[in-house]
Amino acid sequence: MQLIIVGTGGMAAAHAEKFGKINGVKIVGATDLDGGRLKDFCDRFDIEHRFLSLDEAIAWGGFEAAANVTPDHVHYDTTMALLKAGKHVFCEKPLATDFAKAQEMTDTAKQEGLVGMVNLSYRDVPHIHVMRKMVEGGELGAIKHVEASYLQSWLVSNAWGQWDKESQWLWRLSKDHGSNGVLGDVGIHILDFASFGIGQDIANIDCRLKVFDKAEGGRIGEYKLDANDSFAMTLEFGNGAIGVVHASRWATGHLNELRLRVHGDKGALELVHKPDETILRGCLGDDVNDAKWRDIDVAPGRSNYRSFVEAVGRNSQMEPSFEQGAKLQKVLDLCLVADETGRRQGV
């Protein structure tokens, strides 16, 4: 598979590393509007063809698929251009900045007969697939209660760089720069994690979003800092289970941590995923009586990058698909409405 990388910023390195290790994949080109970033990236990953615009790359045409690693608000235009040029697309999350655009991307990929996948990265955590199988196998009984959180602390630590100086963090804090805040950035991951883990779509939501003051006048240079930094939501799933989901960039003491607790009438599971470890533990069978928890061994799984390569190879859709990206986008849009109106939203 001949692949190009569109957008050569922070996350693009992960794409180059992961795709670069897959047999049969050749990263033939890359494109970025920033010439310096493009050159450093292509030199580092030994990429031959370099383009300062996606139009130039499409006019050249020597590729069948693209990894779209541009900022959130750029996903729609670039993905649509790629699909219309007949290229398969592996797009970063969130698929778009609103449901209408995400749905149009989904429909276009279908109409053109192309693979459209969205990088919901935590599907790469094999533990979530074990949870899903155990839930589907009935080991937890009927799921009643779900607790999920995604905690980051880049607004209070320097572990990921300097948020108040680097564009890659500043655009994430600004609505004008196409960000839906922590909700669009990592809320989409934890909503996917929770709904995939229990195999249920989200039926309705209540949500509160919060923007905290973080710079004088609420602005740094061209960036108005008005996108949400924390959210707290309650939700109901298709099977009637109720849940609480929250995320923050102010979660002091947690670099990047997803936690999912699922409680059924026969058992419970807890999954914690951190940069240095992932744990799945269960309280099942007779252990329910004395609330005893045991670790569950999990074998390695397959990454989204590999799934995309396989999907392109056999020209058939695999998960996580654009369709799933659009479904989650609808929930994100409704969270904004719920916050504005204070009213529960049916999905």
Catalog residues that contact ligand NAD under the rule CB under 6 A.
Answer: 6-12, 31-34, 37, 54, 69-72, 74, 78, 92-93, 119, 121, 167-168, 185
Pick from 70, 85, 29, 31: which is nearest to 54 by CA? 31
Report the residue number, 11 or 296, with the smaller CB distance to ligand NAD: 11
What is the chain's Cα-based Rg?
20
256's tokens? 């990047």
To ligand NAD, the closest distance from the beta carbon of 1 in angstroms equals: 20
Report the residue number, 31 or 307, with the smaller CB distance to ligand NAD: 31
To ligand NAD, the closest distance from the beta carbon of 12 in angstroms equals: 6
Q: What is the number of residues in the chain?
A: 347
Cβ distance 127 to 258 under 8 Å? no
Measured distance CA(247)–CA(258) in Å, rounded: 9
To ligand NAD, the closest distance from the beta carbon of 141 in angstroms equals: 32
Report the residue number, 50 or 246, with the smaller CB distance to ligand NAD: 50
Residue 255: count other Cβ atoms within 10 Å of its Cβ: 15
> Which residue number has the CB closest to ligand NAD?
9
Report the residue number, 72 or 333, with the smaller CB distance to ligand NAD: 72
Measured distance CA(258)–CA(135) in Å, rounded: 19
Q: Which DSSP category does 321 fall into?
A: B
To ligand NAD, the closest distance from the beta carbon of 243 in angstroms equals: 22
To ligand NAD, the closest distance from the beta carbon of 71 in angstroms equals: 5
Pick from 27, 92, 84: which is nearest to 55 by CA? 84
Report the residue number, 57 or 135, with the smaller CB distance to ligand NAD: 57
Report the residue number, 38 or 146, with the smaller CB distance to ligand NAD: 38
Report the residue number, 58 or 268, with the smaller CB distance to ligand NAD: 58
Pick from 324, 278, 339: which is nearest to 99 by CA? 324
Phi, psi at 195, each rounded to 5°? -75, -35
Measured distance CA(289)–CA(296) in Å, rounded: 19
Q: Name the helix (H) or strand (E) containing 143.
A: strand 143-152
To ligand NAD, the closest distance from the beta carbon of 140 in angstroms equals: 27
Measured distance CA(182)–CA(247) in Å, rounded: 7
286's tokens? 């007779």
To ligand NAD, the closest distance from the beta carbon of 307 in angstroms equals: 14
